[in-house]
Amino acid sequence: MSSKSSSIESVLTENRSFPPPEAFAKAARVGSLAEYEGLYARAERDPEGFWAEQAAELAWARPWSQVLEWKLPDARWFVGGALNASVSCVDRHAASWRKNKAAILFEGEPGDTRVITYGQLHREVCRAANALTALGIRAGDFVAIYLPMIPEAAIAMLACARIGAPHTIVFGGFSSEALADRIGDCKAKAVITADGGWRRGAIVPLKDNVDHALAGTTVEHVIVVERCKNQVAWTSRDRWWHDVVDTASPAHEPVAFDSEHPLFSLYTSGTTGKPKGILHTTGGYLTCAAYTTKLVFDLRDDDVFWCTADIGWVTGHSYVVYGPLANGATVMMYEGAPNAPRTRAFTSGRDPGAGLDRFWDVIERWGVTVFYTAPTAIRAFMKWGDQHPAAHDLSSLRLLGSVGEPINPEAWMWYRKEIGGDRCPIVDTWWQTETGSIMISPLPGATPTKPGSATRPLPGISIDIVNKDGVPVGPNQGGFLVITRPWPSMLRTIYGDHERFRTTYFGEIEGCYFAGDGARRDADGYIWIMGRVDDVINVAGHRLSTMEVESALVSHPKVAEAAVVGRPDDLKGQAIVAFVTPRSGFIGDDALAKELREHVAKHIGALARPEEIRFADALPKTRSGKIMRRLLREVASGSTARGDTTTLEDQGVLEKLAQSFAHDD
C-alpha cells in the first residue's frame, strides 16, 4: 500500500466518536407527507423568501441586496452577494470540529486507498489554488479538467472555484477530439490531467489524449497528476502536479466572487451534433446543490455517501463534490469500473474473484450508508446475478438513490430487495445538467414511493405538464415537462451561444423552461417521466414512445435491458426494432424473440409488436447510462455513417452490433 493510505477501520471509529449531528439544516429533515406539503406550499407562497433561507446556509462574504432579478430567460440570483464556493465546501469545515472528519474516502481500481480529512482537503485545495495562480491562471480563465475519479479531481475543481477560474470537466472516457472541441469552445488556458487512469485493469492514456488534443489551442499549461506511472511524452508546457502543487504553500486567502460569477461549464449533447456548454454560476448553483443534498439524502455526520457518478457528469459535480462537501459530509470516491476486481496486492494475496461484486465489496468495506447510482448500472447488476450482492454484508446502507433515466419497476424492485434488503427507501431523482440539481424526488421517510415514479417536485420547484400551447394537461395525460418559475441553479446560458439557450429552453413553450422530457402526472400528483420527447417512433401514424415499448420488454423476466428504435419502413413509416440483452441464464434465440414480440403485443397492443428483435450482450450507451438510440437507429437501418460517437462509453459495443447485423441478415 502507498504511504498515503490509512486504515478504513480507524477512520470509521473516529467518525463515531464525533459529537452527534448538528446544524445541517434549518429547513430540517422532512418527516411526513404533510410536512413536505406544508414546506412546498410555503415555498410556493414566497419563493424568494424560501430560496433566501436556503442560500443563507452558505458562507457569504457579502450579503445580497436582491434575491432574484428575472427577465425571461435571464436570471440573476442573490444579486450583489459575494462568496467563494470553496469556502463553503472546505474552509468552514476545516475551521470547525470537522477538521479531522473524513471528507473523501478514496479507493482506486487496483485497490489502493486514501482518506482525506477536511483539514487535509483545505491544505490541498489551497496548494492547488496557489499553484494555478503561480502559473498565471486568473479569475475568469477557463481550466479544463480531464482526470480519472481520484481525489485530485475534487481538489482541482475546488481550487479552480477558489481562484474564480471556471472549470470545464471533460469525462476521462472521451476521446482527444471531444476534448479538443471542448477546450476550443471555452478557450481553456490550462488543462489538469493525469498520466493515466485505471479502467478494467487497463490504463486510459489521458496525457496522450491531451497531447493530441492540444494542437492549435489556447492552452498554455498542462498539469499532470502521476497516477499510473505509464510513460508519457513531455513538452515545455507540461508540469507534474507533485512538482507545482505539493511544493506550494498550504495557506491561501480566498477572494469572494460575485454570486453570478461563472463556476463551471459542462458540455452536454443536444439534438444537433455540436455539444452545448451549459454554464452555471456560483451562488445559485451552490445553494441548490447544498439544499437538495440535505433534503433528498438527509446526510448526517456519520454517513458515508457514495454517488457513483464520474465527475465528468453533472451528477458528479453536484453530488460527489459541491453538494455533499457544502454539507460537511463524507463522500466515497471509487476510480474504476463496477466489474473490476482489486489486484492481489490489495487483497492480502487472497483471490480477488472476477470483480462482478466490486460495488458491494466497496460498500461493505467502507460502510457506505447512502448509495446513489443509475438504472443502467442496476440492470447490469441484475444481469450479473443476485449471488454477488448476496455475498456481502450491505447492512450499513440506509438509503438508495437512482438517477439518469426512468427506472423500470422491475429494476426498482430488485434494487429495493437485493440491495436495500427491503429496508432502505429509494429516491428516484429527476434532474438535468441544465437544472444543476435535483428537481423531482421523493423525500425519504416522507413521500410514499411508487416504483418508476420520481414522485413530486422539491419545495421551491414549480413543475407542470403541458401541451405544446403551454396548457396544462389532465391527470394521466402525456405532455411536456416544464418548470414554470426560475430556480437558483438553473443554467444561465449555453456558453458562447445565448440565442441557442433562449430558443432551446425558453422558445418552445411560452413563458417557461422546457426540459425536453415527456411526462404524465397521475391522480395522486405523482410525476412519471416518459423519456426524451425526441425518442418517439411513428408506426402507421401512431406515435409510440420508445420508452413505452422498452418498459414492456424489460417487464419480461428473461430481459435485462432493452432499447427500441424506429427503422424506416415503406409501409408503416417506421418499423420497431428492439435490441435486447437477456438476463443471465437465458439465451436470445428465435423462441425468445417470438415470446417477447407477443409479450409486447399483449402489454401495449399489436401495433407495438416489434418487427424485429436483435439480441446483444450490451447496448451502446453513454457513461451516464443513456442509451444512444441515434446509433442504434443507424445500425438498424443498415447505415454505416456513425456521426458523433464521442459520448459513447464502449466503442466495441457498436462494432459488435454492426457485425451481428451484417452476418445475421
Question: Interface with ligand 7RM includes 517 (CB under 6 A)?
Answer: yes
CA distance 138 to 302: 37
For ligand 7RM, which residue of 130, 315, 545, 646 counts as binding (CB under 6 A)? 315
What is the side-by-side order of every strand in the sheet holding 257-258? 60-62, 82-83, 257-258
Q: How far is CA 340 from CA 110, 212, 377, 532, 639, in A?
A: 8, 28, 14, 32, 34
Question: Interface with ligand 7RM includes 428 (CB under 6 A)?
Answer: yes
For ligand 7RM, which residue of 36, 431, 514, 579 counts as binding (CB under 6 A)? 431
For ligand 7RM, which residue of 86, 429, 455, 581 counts as binding (CB under 6 A)? 429
CA distance 230 to 224: 12
Contacts (CB under 6 A) with ligand 7RM, residues 190-209: none
Residues 6+ apart with CB under 8 A from 629: 535, 546, 563, 564, 565
Instruction: Please report which helix (H) or strand (E) contains residue 557, including its range.
Output: none
The CB-of-438 to ligand 7RM minimum distance in angstroms stands at 8
For ligand 7RM, which residue of 101, 388, 532, 630 counts as binding (CB under 6 A)? 532
Contacts (CB under 6 A) with ligand 7RM, residues 397-416: 403-406
Question: Interface with ligand 7RM includes 310 (CB under 6 A)?
Answer: no
Residue type, 617: D
Strand partners, 114: 106
Question: Interface with ligand 7RM includes 269 (CB under 6 A)?
Answer: no
Specify whether the CB–CB gap between 375 and 408 falls below 8 A: yes
By rule CB under 6 A, what count of residues binds ligand 7RM?
20
Q: Which CB, 209 or 268, lies closer to ligand 7RM? A: 268
The CB-of-82 to ligand 7RM minimum distance in angstroms stands at 29
Question: Interface with ligand 7RM includes 454 (CB under 6 A)?
Answer: yes
The CB-of-661 to ligand 7RM minimum distance in angstroms stands at 27
Q: Which CB, 131 or 537, lies closer to ligand 7RM? A: 537
The CB-of-532 to ligand 7RM minimum distance in angstroms stands at 5
Residue owning grid cell 482506486? 108
Max Cα separation, the chain?
A: 71
Q: Which CB, 180 or 266, lies closer to ligand 7RM? A: 266
Question: Interface with ligand 7RM includes 483 (CB under 6 A)?
Answer: no
Q: Which of 604, 597, 538 is nearest to 571 (CA)?
A: 538
Q: Which CB, 404 or 459, lies closer to ligand 7RM? A: 404
Q: Which CB, 94 or 411, lies closer to ligand 7RM? A: 411
Residues 6+ apart with CB under 8 A from 185: 267, 275, 277, 495, 496
Cβ burial of 353 (10 Å; 0-12, 13-18, 19+) is middle
For ligand 7RM, which residue of 59, 206, 314, 446 counts as binding (CB under 6 A)? 314
Question: Interface with ligand 7RM includes 624 (CB under 6 A)?
Answer: yes
3-state secondary structure of 617: coil
Question: Interface with ligand 7RM includes 152 (CB under 6 A)?
Answer: no
Cβ burial of 167 (10 Å; 0-12, 13-18, 19+) is buried
The CB-of-405 to ligand 7RM minimum distance in angstroms stands at 5
3-state secondary structure of 351: coil
Strand partners, 472: 466
For ligand 7RM, which residue of 360, 430, 487, 579 counts as binding (CB under 6 A)? 430
Candidates 20-28, 112-120, 146-154, 425-433: pick the segment binding ligand 7RM (CB under 6 A): 425-433
Binding-site ranges for ligand 7RM (CB under 6 A): 268, 314-315, 403-406, 428-433, 454, 515-517, 529, 532, 624
